[in-house]
Chains A and B, each alone.
Chain A
Amino acid sequence: MKRTMTIICLTALTGLVFVFYSAAYAAKKDTRRLCLECHKEVDGFFDKKRVHKPVAGGQCTACHNPHASKHKDLIGADREELCYGCHPKDRLFRGKVVHQPVVEGLCLECHASHSSDNPWLLRGKEVELCFGCHKKEEIQGRKFVHPEVESGRCTTCHDPHGSTLMGLIVKENMCISCHNAGSDGLKMAHSGLNVKGTRCLSCHSPHSSDNAGIVKANVHKPFAEKRCDVCHEPGSKEVARKGYNMCLACHDGTMQSFYKRYNHLMAGKEGNFCADCHTPHASDERALLKDREDKTCWQCHEDTEGFTHSARYVHPDLKKCLDCHVSHGSNARYMLTAGDNTCSMEGCHPSQGRFTHPVGEKAIDPRSREPMNCSTCHNPMGSPEEFILRAGKVVELCIKCHQI
């Protein structure tokens, strides 16, 4: 009896060991063969020039769960977690500027998970991928195109993941890594001035322009006329006058637009309030703005930028600050273009004032004792509530004034 029991136990143990090793073998050593039994399409992965390392090693289970998963394609974890598990986000994609798909963990927007004919397992040609989100006509679509842009080599200048520099630029002084700033050719092109140490992008578009030399679209008149001496000491980069006096020597009349109840009349970051927002040479933006409208404003209003970024709902034209606000000065609160009537300007919200809830003098906010306007209930800068309401639309908003 005892012997029989021993045999049974040994047999069972051997069976268990066999089953365990078979499973382990199937899972670890040859999942590829196992998976291929059903997933014939996997064979095609190996026809491509570049194969993802776990795929090449037959480690399907590095990413997929063979049994069950709450994620699509039986992925073993969130796609973000999955990629960053082997490609650590903090180490590889750090920088104060991080590409939005990286922030959102959308690695597969650009990269193929199994194999690709393109470098870095890219889903397509580099330039095609970039133009999937970034408008081609704005980058390549003008008369004079930067050669690297024309050949679609975006990553020559931009890091697609993260950078310490704005615009995901690869390194400081990017331009001079190809263009010799001290060369005679460059000197000739700049009226004999040695441009070493200057910011190329203050005049040139890095992508394309309708102006020769890829000079940005809007050009300051003296600059266009090559009358550098209007602002600079002859033959020098030094400006002829100090700070804002340089600008006001010609634009004195503009000062009047600042003399308002609320204004941007202050020394600012540059010590010259004009130069805080405008560039003296050329810009792709209107009014020779230094950068895109929202970026120009947010360089000082960073708290507002942070607030808008954290809001669930924002005004759809939030980045067009100057559609609603005046840049120099206004007697209206928040420097609004048309005070309480700003929302109905240029047909944006024609129903303003004729909407169901009364506004204006006939509807005084009992809390602030001021006439109601759109912003009494809506916060265009951002809100966690739908319709950028200041509180929940079901009850919370109404009971702020209407007690129940």
Chain B
Amino acid sequence: MSSNIVDAVKTNVLIIVVLLVALCGGSAYGVETKKVRLAHLIATDEFMGRFNEPGSVFYDGLKKRLYVTDSGNKRLVSFDEEFRYLSELSHKGFSIPLSIVKTSTGEFYITDAETGQIKFVDVKNRTIVPLRIKGMDEKERFVAGRLALDEKENLVVTDRLNRRILVLRRDGTLLKTIEPGVEGLYGFVDVKVDEKGYIYAVDTLGRKVYMFDRTGKLVRRFGADNRIMRFPVSVAVDSRGYVYVLDRHSGRILVFSGRGDLQYLLLRKGVSPGELYNPGYIYIDVEDRIYTIDGNRVQIFVEGDQ
């Protein structure tokens, strides 16, 4: 009889503990943490060696190629659709390649952290030429940060010095300067454009995401509690218009609706595969796969358990 009671108590305690763990493990500060599956992890390969401070990725949905700027190794590395190493381009013009985009016509543009310039990469002829910005006062300083392409394949680039985003034609002609001039803006560290042409930029120190329409008008800015959004460093948008904000200090991805409401969190802090320790960049491809750069590894996630 007494052993039955003890067993019953043990079972109940176990159930309570399991429920508590499930509740705590599934949310942080009252926000649900959703699961994602680590589909691929690229860090080292017998042919390509090891990455050295990769800067960003770009996925060409037409040719199904992934491109990674390997900053420390001064090269551009490509992978096939199954993320196997294909080839690389090393060039003295790659000082510290940081950000990369590729147009549908096969033109590559990178930003170079050592010069603060945008560079046009002619892969076929293996030449790299700095892009001269036309329509801007030559005395005006500009330091290129991150790059994105808008729906017309214009270059959208953050200007690290001036709290602004420039929209340039691919020949370097300045089309637009997006400069919200609002209180509490410290500078944009990353930019992405969604399918509808909305531009999203993240301000790390201000802990905010800025959303602009295609005319450059500020539509909204949003963020989250300082305990969750601690040091946002990169932003991406999926096909639903959900905004993904990569937070370096918390090792999480914060997912917002297009209206700026925090929906859920992804991942957790850690160094094991499938975790984020010191992430610096997030990218979402046309198939809604999520790429993160964390130290010397590129991790590719797919939402959902399966």
Q: Mark A294-324, 1 if CB is under 8 A from B, else 0.
A: 0000001001100100000000000000000
Which parts of A252-289 form the interface with B (CB within 8 Å)? 259-261, 263, 265-269, 271, 273
In the complex, what residues of B have CB within 8 A of residue A245's CB? 141
Q: Which residue of chain A is the closest to B158 with respect to CB atoms?
A: A266
Determine the distance from Cα of A336 to Cα of B89 in the docked complex, in whole angstroms. 28
Q: Which residue of chain A is the closest to B226 with respect to CB atoms?
A: A303
Q: Mark B60-76, 1 if CB is under 8 A from A, else 0.
A: 00000000000110000
Determine the distance from Cα of A245 to Cα of B205 in the docked complex, in whole angstroms. 22
In the complex, what residues of B have CB within 8 A of residue A268's CB? 186-187, 205
Q: Given A244-B141, A263-B113, A368-B295, list of 13 further CB < 8 A pairs?
A: A259-B96, A261-B53, A266-B186, A266-B205, A267-B185, A273-B161, A303-B230, A331-B71, A368-B277, A369-B44, A369-B50, A370-B50, A370-B297
Determine the distance from Cα of A390 to Cα of B161 in the docked complex, in whole angstroms. 36
Q: Is the CB of A367 within 8 A of B272?
A: yes
Q: Is the CB of A333 within 8 A of B230?
A: no
Q: Is the CB of A265 within 8 A of B160?
A: yes
In the complex, what residues of A have CB within 8 A of residue B277's CB? 368
What is the CB-to-nearest-CB distance from A228 to chain B, in angstroms, rounded to a whole number? Answer: 24
Which parts of B218-258 form the interface with A (CB within 8 Å)? 226, 230-231, 249
A365 contacts the other chain (Cβ, under 8 Å)?
yes
Can you pick out 28 interface pairs between chain A and chain B where the beta carbons lie within 8 Å of each other? Answer: A244-B141, A248-B141, A259-B96, A259-B113, A259-B115, A260-B96, A260-B114, A261-B55, A261-B113, A263-B113, A265-B143, A266-B187, A267-B185, A267-B186, A268-B186, A273-B161, A303-B249, A331-B71, A331-B96, A333-B53, A333-B295, A365-B271, A367-B272, A367-B273, A368-B271, A368-B277, A370-B43, A370-B297
**Pick from A267, A271, A365: contact of B160, CB under 8 Å:** A267
Q: Is the CB of A370 within 8 A of B296?
A: yes
Determine the distance from Cα of A367 to Cα of B186 in the docked complex, in whole angstroms. 35
Determine the distance from Cα of A333 to Cα of B297 in the docked complex, in whole angstroms. 13
Determine the distance from Cα of A338 to Cα of B161 in the docked complex, in whole angstroms. 26
What is the CB-to-nearest-CB distance from B51 to chain A, in angstroms, rounded to a whole number? Answer: 9
Which parts of B183-232 form the interface with A (CB within 8 Å)? 185-187, 189, 205, 226, 230-231
Q: Is the CB of B96 within 8 A of A261?
A: yes
Q: Which residue of chain A is the closest to B248 with respect to CB atoms?
A: A303
Cβ-closest 4 pairs across A and B:
A266-B187, A267-B187, A267-B163, A367-B272
B116 contacts the other chain (Cβ, under 8 Å)?
yes
Q: Which residue of chain A is the closest to B277 with respect to CB atoms?
A: A368
Determine the distance from Cα of A369 to Cα of B117 in the docked complex, in whole angstroms. 32
Determine the distance from Cα of A34 to Cα of B64 in the docked complex, in whole angstroms. 92
In the complex, what residues of B have CB within 8 A of residue A244's CB? 141, 161
Q: Which residue of chain A is the closest to B53 with respect to CB atoms?
A: A261
B278 contacts the other chain (Cβ, under 8 Å)?
yes
B98 contacts the other chain (Cβ, under 8 Å)?
yes
Q: Which residue of chain B is the closest to A361 with respect to CB atoms?
A: B50
Interface of chain B: mostly helix, strand, loop or mixed: loop
Q: Is the CB of A367 within 8 A of B271?
A: yes
* Count of interface residues, chain B, beta-carbon cutoff 8 Å: 37
What is the CB-to-nearest-CB distance from A374 to chain B, in angstroms, rounded to a whole number? Answer: 14
**Pick from A259, A269, A368, A370: contact of B205, CB under 8 Å:** A269
In the complex, what residues of A have CB within 8 A of residue B270's CB? 367
What is the CB-to-nearest-CB distance from B53 to chain A, in angstroms, rounded to a whole number? Answer: 6
What is the CB-to-nearest-CB distance from A259 to chain B, in angstroms, rounded to a whole number? Answer: 5
B12 contacts the other chain (Cβ, under 8 Å)?
no
B162 contacts the other chain (Cβ, under 8 Å)?
yes
Which parts of A329-373 form the interface with B (CB within 8 Å)? 331, 333-334, 365, 367-370
Determine the distance from Cα of A265 to Cα of B44 in the docked complex, in whole angstroms. 30
Determine the distance from Cα of A167 to Cα of B113 in the docked complex, in whole angstroms. 38
In the complex, what residues of A have CB within 8 A of residue B161's CB? 244, 265-267, 273
Determine the distance from Cα of A333 to Cα of B54 in the docked complex, in whole angstroms. 11
Q: Which residue of chain A is the closest to B143 with respect to CB atoms?
A: A265
In the complex, what residues of A have CB within 8 A of residue B115's CB? 259
What is the CB-to-nearest-CB distance from B300 to chain A, in angstroms, rounded to a whole number? Answer: 15
Determine the distance from Cα of A300 to Cα of B231 in the docked complex, in whole angstroms. 10
Q: Which residue of chain A is the closest to B159 with respect to CB atoms?
A: A267
Q: Is the CB of B141 within 8 A of A261?
A: no
Q: Mark A228-244, 1 if CB is under 8 A from B, else 0.
A: 00000000000000001
Determine the distance from Cα of A269 to Cα of B186 in the docked complex, in whole angstroms. 5
In the complex, what residues of A have CB within 8 A of residue B162's CB? 267
Q: Mark A360-392, 1 if CB is under 8 A from B, else 0.
A: 000001011110000000000000000000000
Q: Is the CB of A369 within 8 A of B55?
A: no
In the complex, what residues of A have CB within 8 A of residue B71's CB? 261, 331
In the complex, what residues of A have CB within 8 A of residue B296's CB? 368-370
